[in-house]
Amino acid sequence: MTATALTAVVASGTGVAYAQDTLTIASWGGVYQQAQRDAWFNVVEEELGIKIIEDTTSGAADVRLQVASGSPTWDLTQQGNYSCALLESEGNVEMLSDEILAIPGIPDSMKGKGWISNLVYGAVLARNDEVYSDDKPNSWADFWDTETYPGPRSLRRSPVYNLEAALIADGVPMDELYPLDTERAFKKLEEIKDDVAVWWSSGAQSAQVLQDGEVDMAMVWNGRAQSIADEGAPFSITWEEQIVLTDCWVIPKGTKNKDLAMKAIEIMSRPEVQARIALFINYGPANSDAFDTGVIPEDVANGLPSHPDNSAKGFVLDSNYWAANLDTLTQEFDFFIQN
């Protein structure tokens, strides 16, 4: 038998055989990617009898370059949810199988034809418990209330999240946000502009300005707030009106290992495998059925953004809206904060 034929008959744990013996996955690196390795990649390797080679990505531009090369070296990559929707609209990703898109537990708001979410985090309000020891700000309206809750604030240097929070602070119900009334949102942002001491541009910066006492409250990713709280910083978060965010899988258009990448996604989307991510990092599974598996300890589950009790307090970012409007609104936002 040829070497190729021999490889093809190596059985995995499910009895499925693959001629390819490696799969290349690109993610965000660091402790985040290590958590994926421990939670998911090891499971895929064991079940399929393959080796996962890891690489890192810095965003959608990397995927475009991979596809433009005509021979992508990545078989699967992690991206942010509106980047996934954007890459799909550009034709830079493979369409997913009907079987993957029909996986129970992952809502339609967390997938498209060419992408599916794999974990959940939240953009939340974090506040200094020493500054606000009695009456804590607990909503975006409170964030905007500088009389009741004085002190410097911090927001992300992007229209994404800020326009939604501004509209909620102005009384728009969470289920009526999209399409965004951008004129109303920028008018509301104008009210708080002078109280925003820092427009952060990275997750590390958002946590640092809190930890250093440069601001008393901020919109941050929940994992960043939790990390400084675990180190002893006097900060807590609220899940009220959280902006539910996801990262997702896409398969770069033209990859030679498309079928194997599909199988890997299917495995990593199963509830019992999804649940494992919460054991290694403070982010939640995208598959809500993961909370019924018993894999996630109750005290851990209660602190995750996708826990049913917490996700019910917020709303899922509309990735398709931002895929269509990001460039225009980013230009408008940059002009806003510079003037």
pLDDT tens digit sequence for 118-137: 999 999 999 999 999 999 99
Which of 150, 151, 103 shows the shortest CA–CA distance to 274? 103
Q: Provide the pLDDT for residue 11.
A: 35
What b-and-e string marks burial along 284-297, b requiring 16 or more CB atoms within 10 Å of the CB? bbbbbbbbebebbe
pLDDT band at 30 (very low <50, low <70, confident <90, very high): confident
Predicted pLDDT of residue 20: 61
CB 144 within 8 A of CB 188: yes
What is the architecture, at CATH level 2, of domain 3-120+246-312?
A: 3-Layer(aba) Sandwich (3.40)
> CATH number of the domain at 121-245+316-338, please?
3.40.190.10
- Domain ranges in the chain with CATH number 3.40.190.10: 3-120+246-312, 121-245+316-338
pLDDT at 9 (0 to 100):
30
pLDDT digits (tens, 9 = 90+) for 214-224: 999 999 999 88
Element (H, E) at 272: helix 271-274
Q: What is the pLDDT of residues 163-210, one digit of tens each?
A: 999 999 999 999 999 999 999 999 999 999 999 999 999 988 999 999
pLDDT tens column, 229-245: 989 999 999 999 999 99
pLDDT attached to residue 33 = 94
Q: What is the mean pLDDT of residues 273-291?
A: 96
Cα 220–226–232 angle (5° rounding)? Answer: 120
Q: Are 31 and 230 in contact (CB under 8 A)?
A: no
Q: Residue 5 pLDDT more than 90?
A: no
The band of 31, judged by pLDDT with boundaries at 50, 70 and 90, is confident
pLDDT at 3 over 90: no
Instruction: Give the CA count within 13 Å in the CB-facing half-sphere of 183.
Output: 0
Q: Which of 241, 242, 140 is nearest to 192 (CA)?
A: 140
